[in-house]
Structure 1
Amino acid sequence: MPKKNMELSVEQREELIKALKTRFEKNMSRHEGLEWDNVQTKLDDQPEKLWSLNEMERTEGEPDVVGYDNKTDEYIFYDCSAQSPKGRRSVCYDREALESRKKHKPDNNAIDMANDMGIELLSEDQYRDLQQLGEFDTKTSSWVKTPDNIRILGGAIFCDRRYDTVFVYHNGAESYYSARGFRGSLRV
Structure 2
Amino acid sequence: MGIIEDSLARAAANTATRPIPKTAGAQMRFLVRQAKGSTRTVAERLGVTQRTVERYVKGQLRRPRKDFAARLEQEVRKDWQPRVQGRAKKRAATSGGIVIETRARFGFTAAPGSTDDGRMRRVTQHLPPSYAARLFDAQAAGATEQQLRAIAAEGLQEIYFKDRGRRAEGLRVDFTDIDYLELDF
TM over 0.5: no
TM-score, normalised relative to structure 2 = 0.29
Q: Relative contact order (alpha carbons < 8 A, sep ≥ 6): 1 or 2 greater?
A: 2
Q: Which has the higher helix share?
A: 2
Larger Rg: 2
